[in-house]
Amino acid sequence: MKYYDKLIFEVSRPGRTGFSLPRNPWHSHTAQLPEHLKRNTPTLLPEVSEPDVVRHYTNLSNMNFGVDTGFYPLGSCTMKYNPKINEEMAALQTFKSLHPLQPDKTTQGALELYYELNRTLSQITGMAECTLNPFAGAHGELTGLMIIRQYHLKRGDTERTKIIVPDSAHGTNPASAAVCGLQVVEVNSSTDGTIDIESLKSVLDHTVAGIMMTNPNTLGLFETHILEIAQLVHDCGGLLYYDGANMNPLLGKCRPGDMGFDVLHLNLHKTFSTPHGGGGPGSGAVGVAAHLTDYLPNPRVVKLADGTFATENNPEAAGQVSSFLGNYGVLMRAYTYILTLGKENIRMAGPLATLNANYIKESLKQHYKLPILGVCKHEFVFDGLLDNPNNLTTLDVAKRLLDYGYHAPTIYFPLLFHQSIMIEPTETESKETIDEFINIMKVIAEEARTSPETLQHAPHHTPVRRLDETTAAKTPILTFEELTNVTQ
Ligand SMILES: *Cc1c(COP(=O)(O)O)cnc(C)c1O
């Protein structure tokens, strides 16, 4: 083990420091802490030099995989490259140092940005108005469902407690519905991967609050019957919820509002370029059609008659879902992203994401099982290896990709197939990067035939090998003592 592969506590030497503090500006005056607030034991912080600290964090970051490290084809996630100018804007001191409790008249610029982003997102999605307060996609789903529930309750329609969710839906959809107290009713996909209309018709009645859908759906397929679906659900008194977490295939091309959706959420941290993953800060902006704007959560940002901006609360609101105006830094990144591309270029995102996905799909379908043929949108699903004499699994393929320096695609989701490999290249990758990935996927398919044990024991070159993922997630080793106990 190299010296700097050790834990920072193992590198620690008593008395070693990596900093020099400025001279105490209050000279000899030392504050007197009350006895009961003083520590009884030393802090047990590592004592290291500055290079030790720099190497520690740099090496840690190299053990991780991010979209800045390499190609990250995770499906249903839009792990796209996020332009660095977004970070610069989000770090602007004038915005960063604002306090959420400052009076509105001192935060006009920040409120104006919120207002303008709200209007822009409303235009992009065909909605009347948005809230940018929710902190994540799933949080947006919950907010949207609270709005739907509020809408029915305000009309005295108390029996609408069911929400329809297709079997291909993202897992957060049924989870959010359950958190909102709604009962989930599943509808099946037909053999072409889109919603089965007959299955939908059989569950439509006066107890349906709405349907949650994503279009293109999780298989990357456009729901061509969307207008008919909208008509059916509206005729029975329900509302349509659109999961727009990954809206990049549609950006500037077509709008959920025009398809008949009443409520939607966007993941600004996917479609509108903020780094995400690992539970980092996100934004699940929620848009609603005109008949639902009253129920948007508080606080809201409004433009007053004199052209200034203010925050306000509406008594009709479906509640309040965050302490202030959401994850503001994420909003700044989204706004910067939209303005940098502009109306003309944002239209290119969808076609490029679609082209890249179809190019990979067509290039690899001789090697991986393609259960649903035809043109996809921004992502698609393989069902494991095509020629597979050694019975290798999707997990083996995914682990082997790590050895070649790629993040694995989404695996074993959607649940419609047993060996799902879901690939979403996004619009930001070059043809060269995509060709390299295709090539490696072919190499792995060949290895699966000729040296199956290479795949079965992969990964070979990562900091840790094949983990027991359940134990790693449920009982992670988080302290130095625990680790020394394990390694002894
Ligand atoms: C990522 C995603 C979500 C959930 O978003 P979070 O920010 O992770 O809560 C919901 N739906 C779809 C389709 C997604 O891809």
Question: Which atom of ligand 1 is nearest to 282's Cα?
Answer: 7
Residue type for 298, please? N
| pLDDT tens-digit series, residues 132-149 | 999 999 999 999 999 999
Cα 409 to ligand 1 centroid, rounded to whole Å: 16
Instruction: Quote the tokens at residue 24.
Output: 């105490």
| Smallest CA separation from ligand 1 atom 5, residue | 137
Count CB-CB contacts under 10 A for residue 216: 21
Nearest CA to 80 out of 326, 411, 352, 365 is that of: 352
The 3-state secondary structure of the chain, one letter per residue: CCHHHCCHHHHCCCCCCCCCCCCCCCCCCCCCCCHHHCCCCCCCCCCCCHHHHHHHHHHHHHCCCCCCCCCCCECCCCCCCCCHHHHHHHCCHHHHCCCCCCCHHHCHHHHHHHHHHHHHHHHHHCCCEEECCCCCHHHHHHHHHHHHHHHHHHCCCCCCCEEEEECCCCCHHHHHHHHCCCEEEEECECCCCCECHHHHHCCCCCCEEEEEECCCCCCCCCCCCHHHHHHHHHHCCCEEEEEECCCCCCCCCCCHHHHCCCEEEEECCCCCCCCCCCCCCCCEEEEECHHHHHHCCECEEEECCCCCEEEECCCCCCCECCCCCCCHHHHHHHHHHHHHHHHHHHHHHHHHHHHHHHHHHHHHCCCECCCCCCCCCCCEEEECECCCCCCCCHHHHHHHHHHCCCCCCEECCCCCCCCEEEECCCCCCCHHHHHHHHHHHHHHHHHHHHCHHHHHCCCCCCCCCCCCHHHHHHCCCCCHHHHHHHHC
* Domains in the chain with CATH codes: 84-340 (3.40.640.10), 346-462 (3.90.1150.10)
Question: Which atom of ligand 1 is nearest to 141's Cα?
Answer: 10
Question: Which atom of ligand 1 is nearest to 246's Cα?
Answer: 15
- pLDDT level of residue 487 (50, 70, 90 thresholds): low
- pLDDT level of residue 483 (50, 70, 90 thresholds): low
- pLDDT level of residue 218 (50, 70, 90 thresholds): confident
Cα 412 to ligand 1 centroid, rounded to whole Å: 16
**Mean pLDDT throughout 348-377?**
95
Cα 139 to ligand 1 centroid, rounded to whole Å: 9
Instruction: Quote the tokens at residue 323.
Output: 């302490």
Lowest mean pLDDT segment, chosen from 248-252, 334-338, 404-408: 248-252
Instruction: Quote the tokens at residue 88.
Output: 């610069």
- Is the pLDDT confidence value at 233 over 60? yes
The fraction of the chain above a pLDDT of 90, given in percent, is: 75
Question: Which atom of ligand 1 is nearest to 77's Cα?
Answer: 15
Lowest mean pLDDT segment, chosen from 23-27, 171-175, 273-277, 355-359: 23-27
Bridge partners (DSSP) listed for residue 298: 320
| pLDDT tens-digit series, residues 104-136 | 999 999 999 999 999 999 999 999 999 999 999
Residues 221-238 as b or e (16 or more Cβ within 10 Å = b): bbbebbeebbebbeebbb
Most informative mutation of 221, 242, 267, 321 for ligand 1 (most atoms within 8 A of CB): 267
What gap in Å lies between CA 407 and CA 73, rounded to an integer?
Answer: 7
Cα 245 to ligand 1 centroid, rounded to whole Å: 5
CB neighbour list of residue 476: distance below 8 Å, 6 or more residues apart: none
Highest mean pLDDT among 49-63, 202-216, 242-256, 273-287: 202-216
Cα 383 to ligand 1 centroid, rounded to whole Å: 22
- pLDDT level of residue 27 (50, 70, 90 thresholds): low
- Is the pLDDT confidence value at 477 over 90? no
Most informative mutation of 72, 170, 424 for ligand 1 (most atoms within 8 A of CB): 170
Give the C-alpha distances (Å, rounded to integers) separating 240 from 31, 35, 80, 148. 61, 61, 28, 9
Cα 267 to ligand 1 centroid, rounded to whole Å: 7
What gap in Å lies between CA 299 and CA 436, rounded to an integer?
Answer: 48
| pLDDT tens-digit series, residues 410-451 | 999 988 899 999 999 999 999 999 999 999 999 999 999 999
- Is the pLDDT confidence value at 240 over 70? yes
CB neighbour list of residue 387: distance below 8 Å, 6 or more residues apart: 367, 445, 448, 449
Q: What is the pLDDT of residue 2?
A: 57
Cα 486 to ligand 1 centroid, rounded to whole Å: 36
Cα 395 to ligand 1 centroid, rounded to whole Å: 22
Contact between residue 227 and residue 356 where contact means Cβ atoms under 8 Å apart: no
**Mean pLDDT throughout 50-68?**
88
Cα 311 to ligand 1 centroid, rounded to whole Å: 28
| Smallest CA separation from ligand 1 atom 15, residue | 76
Question: Which atom of ligand 1 is nearest to 270's Cα?
Answer: 1
Most informative mutation of 172, 270, 378 for ligand 1 (most atoms within 8 A of CB): 172
Q: What is the CA radius of gyration of the chain?
A: 26
Cα 181 to ligand 1 centroid, rounded to whole Å: 20
**Mean pLDDT throughout 342-358?**
94
| Smallest CA separation from ligand 1 atom 14, residue | 245
Give the C-alpha distances (Å, rounded to integers) separating 86 from 81, 229, 306. 11, 38, 31
- Is the pLDDT confidence value at 279 over 90? no
Instruction: Quote the tokens at residue 217.
Output: 């759906």
Q: What is the pLDDT of residue 488?
A: 47
Ligand 1: which residues within 6 Å by Cβ?
A: 76-77, 136-138, 170, 172, 214, 243, 245-246, 267, 282, 284
Give the C-alpha distances (Å, rounded to integers) separating 290 from 45, 79, 119, 261, 262. 56, 32, 13, 11, 8
